[in-house]
Amino acid sequence: MRSPAALPILLLLTLQLTAWASAAPTYVVTCPAVIYHPYTTTLWVHLSGLSEPAQVTIQLQRADKTQSITLLDREVQEPHLYLNITFPAPAPAQGEEEVAELQVSIQGGSLQVSEKKKVMLKALQPGILIQTDKAVYKPGQQVKLRVLSLDRDLAASNEKCCPSLS
């Protein structure tokens, strides 16, 4: 004879299995809105609830549609996937910045997803901080300068900004 407590546990387990079986696949892809060149960028991919194999493709498409950079092209067999993809940020095609599209495509038996989002590719030049040795000078005094090059994290950079000042 079964105990009275076994019936609710069995019912709860049955409901939980039914919920898992009927759960629709979900996905999350996160990427910074601004990608700075020449630094590396990380892209995160999370898939869950896959009941069948799916092909996942993530590409970075340039605005002029001439070049496409494939960041991920993988067949996923497991029901859950969590990846972080680190890649070097591409340089903007012309000048300082360029708008590109991040294309996410997930193709499986019953799962067909295709999304596009815009991201900014930006060439990051070092920031320059110029400091004088005094706040106020008298006429004829020699002015002394300190020039500091800063990277995107506001840390001192070895990159030279003005070769003539060396």
Q: What are the pLDDT digits (tens) for 1-38? A: 444 444 344 433 444 444 445 567 788 888 889 888 88
User: What domain range is 31 assigned to?
Assistant: 23-123
* Alpha-carbon gap, residue 119 to 148, rounded angstroms: 30
pLDDT value, residue 66? 76
Residue 8 placed within a domain: no
90, 136 Cβ separation under 8 angstroms? no
If asked whether residues 115 and 156 sit together in one domain, one would say no
What's the mean per-residue pLDDT of the chain? 78
Residue 93 placed within a domain: yes
Q: Provide the pLDDT confidence category of residue 77 given band limits of 50, 70 and 90.
A: confident
Residue 4 placed within a domain: no
**For the chain, how many structural domains are there in total?**
2
Residues 103-108, mean pLDDT to the nearest whole number: 87
If asked whether residues 111 and 50 sit together in one domain, one would say yes
Residue 58 placed within a domain: yes
* Alpha-carbon gap, residue 60 to 123, rounded angstroms: 16
Tell me the CA distances in angstroms from 71 to 19, 33, 59, 84, one per residue in order: 33, 16, 5, 11
